[in-house]
Amino acid sequence: MKVLKFGGTSVGNSDCINSVINIISDYLQKREQIIVVCSAMAGITDELINAARRAAQGDALYKKSFLKIKEKHLSTLSDLIKKSKLNKPRKVVEEKLNELLQILESIHLLKELTPRTLDRVMSFGEYLSCYIISQTLISRKIDCDLLDARNIIKTDEQFGNAKVDFEKTNQLIKEYFSNNKKLQIVTGFIASTNNGETTTLGRGGSDYTASIIGAALDVDEIEIWTDVNGIMTADPRKVQSAFPLKAVTYEEAMEMSHFGAKVIYSPTMLPALQKNIKIRIRNTFNPSFRGTLILPREPNIKFNMKGISSIDNVHMLQVEGSGLIGIEGISARIFNALAKEKVKVLLITQGSSGHTICFAVFPSDSLKAKRAIENELKLEILEKQLKRVEIIEDLSMLAVVGEDLLNTPGVPGMVLSALGQNGINTIAIAQGSSQLNLTIVIKKEELKKALNVLHDALFVT
Ligand code: ADP
Ligand code: ASP
Ligand code: MG
């Protein structure tokens, strides 16, 4: 048995959905057992967020976003299903859209948008795309059910990025699939709390849904179908010479996606890794291509450099002062203060003199981080042992990823000299303790050049 997951661009319009249906039909013809997970149509999750945020600001333009969403689903549905069979599914889609409109109207009225309500709003994307796909399959005589993942994936109440309760979830999945043998079209990304409230698994989370289901059922392989030929040596949108990799380890895939490679959502690797299930990344628009296999590291296979990924926007915070050396437990205090505020720290460096500690965060976290540290260290700042925390903006972060990277002689030197020879200044450097990555912070305006220069130096020569 396999789980096949189709991403937003793979179900982005009726032509794409026809390609997806061809892939599904091929598997069924070969009598392979499959479970299908789908994302919302491309751009829909963003548009739903737009609509909700506009409504919360009291901006009547939320209706424009809503109409865009409505138009896209209704026109896709009527492109896919013959007129004679369109009545019932059209009615269901219209009813769902009305429910969405009512929620948006309440947000507009109250001028309030909680993470809980935003999850509810976002869930319409996956529900509608999966409904349309399942109805299209049925209209073409491929029997299937629409499975709302809220019924099988249970999480905590961390709306927007909920944590899965694997004990309950695995049991529900096993129970459901042992009682339902038809082809299931499962909504990616969405889940629910014990009280039945909608949650989501984090942006890009449909990949994770596929892996959660695959691991619970011990499937043979999880296939992530997307719009590129696999995991590539760099983001093909930024580096033209990027090429697809045959295989990477779970850890490498996690590291690349953690540092910005959107092609697979980082948590996806964990359930698969625990059950040793291979993940394959494949291209919906080039289905005969082998794609990239994500697999455990085998002792005799030599893995080396795999790729370069980047996070386009980061801020650095600098804590500086002569007092840094003398204050006991200062790092622990700083990072505890950040953890309390749920700030995600992307990179840490400490000057060898001990006078500065720098770290990188997402721009949306930087003010919160500055306040948290200044509050924690207010006495030391008052006594001038430390300066106020400085935020450095307009930066990007790139990571060179590969197993045993740092044991490979010359790699860090090659990276730094390639950047230096091309006049690119490195603002901070850190080596991952896992030996898997070398991370560098540079000015944002130099990112594209840096990615290309490094890619040529490491992969093309
Ligand atoms: P889906 O809609 O199928 O989930 P995503 O847009 O989430 O697809 O991910 C696919 C995109 O990831 C590609 O179009 C590509 O631009 C981007 N990407 C970034 N880094 C990489 C990489 N190293 N290899 C492949 N794709 C990458
Ligand atoms: N639709 C969701 C998102 O855009 C989940 C996904 O595409 O994987 O983040
Ligand atoms: Mg994705």
Domain ranges of the chain: 2-227, 307-460
**Between β-strands 190-192 and 305-320, what pairing exists: parallel, antiparallel or unpaired?**
unpaired
By three-state DSSP, how is residue 416 classified? helix
Q: What is the DSSP string of 254-298?
A: HHHHHTT-TTS-GGGHHHHHHHT-EEEEEETTSTTS--EEEE---
- pLDDT tens digits, residue range 150-184? 999 999 999 999 999 999 999 999 999 999 999 99
Query: Quick check: CB of 307 below 6 Å from ligand 1?
Result: yes
The ligand minimizing its distance to the Cα of 38 is: 2
Q: Residue 216 and residue 170: Cα distance in Å, rounded? A: 5
The ligand minimizing its distance to the Cα of 129 is: 2
Rg (CA), the chain: 24
Backbone angles phi, psi at 305, to 5 degrees: -60, 135
Residue 331's pLDDT is what? Answer: 85
Residue 327's pLDDT is what? Answer: 72
The answer for residues whose C-beta is within 8 angstroms of residue 417's C-beta and 6 or more apart is none
Give all strands (DSSP E) within 31-188, no chain letters: 34-38, 144-147, 183-187
Index of the ligand 2 atom closest to the CA of residue 208: 8
Judge whether 89 and 132 are in contact, CB under 8 Å: yes
Q: How far is the CA of 395 from the centre of ligand 3 (A)?
A: 24
Q: How far is the CA of 40 from the centre of ligand 2 (A)?
A: 6
- Please name every residue paired with 347 in a beta bridge, in sequence order, or none if there are none: 360
Res. 418: pLDDT tops 80: yes
Residue 299's pLDDT is what? Answer: 63
Query: Quick check: CB of 232 below 6 Å from ligand 1?
Result: yes
**Between β-strands 34-38 and 2-6, what pairing exists: parallel, antiparallel or unpaired?**
parallel
- β-sheet with 345-350: strand ranges across: 345-350, 356-361, 305-320, 390-402, 437-443, 428-431
CA distances (Å), origin 334, targets 153, 307, 319, 354, 390: 36, 32, 9, 14, 14
Q: Residue 193 and residue 168: Cα distance in Å, rounded? A: 11
Token readout for 296 is 């455990």
For ligand 2, residues with CB inside 6 Å are 7-8, 39-40, 45, 125, 188-189, 203-207
Sign of CA dihedral 77, 80, 84, 88: negative
- pLDDT tens digits, residue range 332-350? 899 999 999 999 999 988 8
Count of CB atoms situated within 10 Å of the CB of 409:
8
- pLDDT tens digits, residue range 207-248? 999 999 999 999 999 999 999 999 999 999 999 999 999 999
Res. 435: pLDDT tops 80: no
- Please name every residue paired with 345 in a beta bridge, in sequence order, or none if there are none: 361
Q: How far is the CA of 263 from the centre of ligand 1 (A)?
A: 3
- pLDDT tens digits, residue range 83-135? 999 999 999 999 999 999 999 999 999 999 999 999 999 999 999 999 999 99
Q: How far is the CA of 233 from the centre of ligand 3 (A)?
A: 17
Mean pLDDT for the chain? 94
Which of 206, 225, 268 to probe ligand 2 with, by most ligand atoms within 8 A of CB?
206
In which band, very low, low, confident or very high, does the pLDDT at 355 lie, cut at 50, 70 and 90? confident
Which of 228, 241, 265, 459 to probe ligand 1 with, by most ligand atoms within 8 A of CB?
228
Q: Residue 356 and residue 334: Cα distance in Å, rounded? A: 12
Q: Residue 220 and residue 209: Cα distance in Å, rounded? A: 16
Q: How far is the CA of 84 from the centre of ligand 2 (A)?
A: 32
Q: Whose CA is nearest to atom 6 of ligand 2?
A: 204
Query: Quick check: CB of 9 below 6 Å from ligand 1?
Result: yes
Name the DSSP class of 332: H
How far does Cα 450 stand from its chain's mean position? 23
Q: Which CATH class is domain 307-460?
A: alpha beta
Is CATH 3.40.1160.10 correct for 2-227? yes
Residue 354's pLDDT is what? Answer: 65
Index of the ligand 2 atom closest to the CA of residue 46: 4
Least confident residue range of 209-218, 287-296, 452-461:
452-461
Res. 301: pLDDT tops 80: no
The answer for residues whose C-beta is within 8 angstroms of residue 295's C-beta and 6 or more apart is 247, 248, 249, 250, 278, 279
Least confident residue range of 232-241, 278-287, 379-388:
379-388
Q: Residue 23 and residue 36: Cα distance in Å, rounded? A: 11
Query: Quick check: CB of 228 below 6 Å from ligand 1?
Result: yes
Residue 411's pLDDT is what? Answer: 82
Query: Quick check: CB of 261 below 6 Å from ligand 1?
Result: yes
Sign of CA dihedral 405, 406, 408, 412: positive
324-330, long-range: CB < 8 A, 24+ apart: 324/354, 324/355, 324/356, 324/357, 324/385, 324/386, 325/353, 325/354, 325/355, 326/385, 327/380, 327/385, 330/357, 330/377
Residue 392's pLDDT is what? Answer: 97
> Buried b / exposed e across 64-85, counting CB within 10 Å, b at 16+?
ebbeebbebbbebbeebbeeee
How far does Cα 327 stand from its chain's mean position? 39
Q: What is the DSSP string of 362-389?
A: -HHHHHHHHHHHHHHTHHHHHTTSSPPP
- β-sheet with 247-249: strand ranges across: 144-147, 183-187, 34-38, 2-6, 221-226, 278-283, 292-295, 247-249
Backbone angles phi, psi at 150, to 5 degrees: -60, -25
Of the two residues 315 and 320, the one the predictor is more confident about is 315
In which band, very low, low, confident or very high, does the pLDDT at 302 lie, cut at 50, 70 and 90? low
Judge whether 220 and 277 are in contact, CB under 8 Å: yes
CA distances (Å), origin 101, targets 122, 162, 192, 199: 12, 25, 21, 19
Res. 326: pLDDT tops 80: no
Share above pLDDT 70 across residues of the chain, in percent, rounded to a whole number: 97
Helix (H) or strand (E) holding 431: strand 428-431
